[in-house]
Amino acid sequence: MDESDFRKIERLIVRRLKRYSYYVDEPLLKKAFVFAEESHKDQLRKSGEPYYSHPLLVAKLLTEFKMDYNTVVGGLLHDVVEDTGVTLAEVADEFGDEIALLVDGVTKISELKFESIEMRKAENFRKMILSMVKDIRVILIKFADRLHNMTTLGHLAESKQRRIASETREVYAPLAHRLGMAKVKAELEDLCMKILEPEAYQELVKKLDEKKQDRESYIQEFTEPLSKALKEASIRARMTGRSKHFYSIYQKLKTRSKAFEEIYDLIGIRILVKKVEECYYVLGLVHNLFTPVQERFKDYVATPKSNMYQSLHTTVVGPRGRMVEVQIRTDEMHRTAEEGIAAHWRYKQGKDGARDEEIDKHFAWLRQILEWQQETNDPNEFLENLRIDLFQDEVFVFTPQGDLFKLPLGSTPVDFAFSVHTDVGMHCIGAKVNGKIVPLDYKLQSGDSVEIITSASQKPNPEWLTFICTSKARSRIRKWQRDSFYEQSQKLGEEILHKQFKRRHIKKSGEELKEIAHTFGHNDLGQFYAEIGRGEISIQSILRKISPQEEETPGDDSFLKKFISRARGAANGVRVQGLDNLLINFAKCCQPVPGDNILGFISRGRGVIVHRANCKNIEKLLETPEKCINVEWDVEKDKHFIVRIHLIGEDRKDFLRDITEKISLTRTNIVSLNTKTQDTLVTTNLIIEVRNLQHLNKVIHNIGKVNGVIGVERLNGTANF
């Protein structure tokens, strides 16, 4: 193709749009021609042709689908973001948000990897494509893109040809079928067969070519008496002869073990009429002229297929005893079946009636799309009618290698990790979504690429139970809790009891301890310790049982002062890192770091919660001093702790750069940074990782030296990020 060919096709596209669409933004369309050609001007196809030939022919195909001008523009620009230096923001600036949405949708689908998807997962892959898009026209652009690419596969390596053909047959052809696009489905399947079963394809081509002249003459012989009967009945109808597409013939030959000559509908006649009642009248005429094969009659008019396909099908014995399939339908039915966007789509065919009703509501509008786009001159109204929101109760995400997973709506990286493998979930320490670190309670969206970060030393966090969705993740974590929590609670309870006894100079033998446990209803000393560790039996209640004179009044100021003083000294308490992480949790409200004065509080079901001694919640916690426990720092050398910092400064150029440079001088990792600007002030919230209080103070000191910083402080509460 050369420049003159480009101009001819451009003029054809404009003419077609004007012919079937009431609203055409011709200046925008012509601008898109220039923009696409300029963006791809230095690129060539594998065939050696200018790359612009591809998007131009995709746009031409979209006019064959009778799509609106915005979709045609989206087709012209569908590769500019993926294959050139053009950004999505530039597309939005030049052509508007609607077209940018279409281009972005096609780009996202193009980035999906099919190579590692097992064939049994192809259905999920199709669902994910649908769930990713907010506008059905994205899929139609992808169909046009794939149709043209399939016609030019011969210029690629054989392995790549087969990969693309497999993907097309497993994903895109079934999608076209589900969306009612029989013509697109047939073309895609035939093109795939040419690549994947070349010998069978060439054999069919040869056989059909040999029979072509005979077939055309037979169709003439069959239709002559029928034309006469239609004329006598004053029915205006169009009749066309047709051959079944190659892949369909191949499938019947393979699955039914039939000979080529035994395919009933190899020769077919299609009759198009104006009214539904005429369909049945014509059926009567056909049966009067030719003997029907009774078991080969199907009424898809009264009972449409799941994709809203409607037609009468009958097989009759024609002249010379040959079988002929006759299809009778109205022009409207024919448009729905062959020419345009899907009229209907159903997720579970006949398997789930309630779900079918829900899908019906979502897709009933599709039947009228072609008519709407020709009747309205308001592009906003048309766009609103095209919006879709599929699979509201599911998300489809995949690994960086392309493996697909279906999860419930609201699922998190933790749910994904357990779906990949139980061991991955058990040792999950973090996650990247689309290449960026996200919190473990992040809500996954269809199309997300999820990478799980694991650590051999990591164990499940009971707090995960507050946000996970999948039953697998929940059951695995609870089983782990049952297996691990008892042992850890037992260790903690034993240490708590013995330290409190030591503090009060109480000595008890093993037998005496068993007797104490028995008074609390436990024959097993281990269960007794476990209930102490879980906070279900308090030290005060034990002291009341064995030594009332030793009991200290909870409200006694001297007791509180003594306890706080001892906790701050932290000479002989429970070590924060001395037990499994399951039973040691750092309070989110104050986020203590090594060097902070700390207090521990036994929380039922969560073990020991460690707070800073100056936490705003301490006063309330000290109302139940029997749940207080001495704690001390004992951390590994390379252990890091999360801290939130809040700063206010003057809004100036390079302010954030200067802040991050000062932080980097302290060898500190910035986990998250969120900035808001109002008037001349900038407010910044940071989440950083520090080793201890000294490290944190150094970071704050360095930030304070940045020009323009008005104030910087450590947050003593949860910031909104």
- With beta carbons less than 8 A apart as the criterion, state whether 470 and 419 touch: yes
At a CB cut-off of 8 Å and minimum separation 6, what does 470 contact?
407, 408, 411, 415, 418, 419
Residue listed under structure tokens 């093993």: 510
Which residue pairs from 527-530 have beta carbons closer than 8 angstroms and sit at least 24 positions apart in sequence?
528/493, 529/489, 529/490, 529/491, 529/493, 529/494, 529/497, 530/486, 530/489, 530/490, 530/493
Whether 82 is catalytic? yes
For the record, the structure tokens of 673 come out as 């940074």
For the record, the structure tokens of 679 come out as 């008037």
DSSP structural state of residue 496: H
Q: Phi/psi of residue 109, each to 5°?
A: -65, -40
For CA atoms 459, 461, 465, 468, the dihedral sign is negative
Query: Length of the chain, please?
Result: 721
Query: Active site residue: 82, 93, 158, 216, which one?
Result: 82
Q: Quote the CA–CA distance of 338 and 178 in Å, as a whole number.
A: 13
Q: Quote the CA–CA distance of 500 and 479 in Å, as a whole number.
A: 32
For the record, the structure tokens of 383 come out as 């766009």
Three-state secondary structure call for residue 144? helix
CA-angle at 378, arms to 375 and 381, nearest 5°? 95
Q: Which amino acid is at 368?
A: Q
- With beta carbons less than 8 A apart as the criterion, state whether 379 and 357 touch: no
Query: Active site residue: 25, 49, 83, 651, which one?
Result: 83
For residue 601, what are the β-bridge partners? 609, 628
Q: Which of 668, 662, 669 is nearest to 709 (CA)?
A: 662
- With beta carbons less than 8 A apart as the criterion, state whether 526 and 517 touch: no
- Which helix (H) or strand (E) segment holds residue 313: the answer is strand 312-317
| 309 HSE (CA, 13 A, CB side) | 20
CA-angle at 205, arms to 201 and 206, nearest 5°? 115
For residue 710, what are the β-bridge partners? none
Q: Phi/psi of residue 246, each to 5°?
A: -55, -50
Q: Quote the CA–CA distance of 272 and 328 in Å, as a whole number.
A: 6
Q: Quote the CA–CA distance of 682 and 68 in Å, as a whole number.
A: 45
Catalytic residues: 82-83
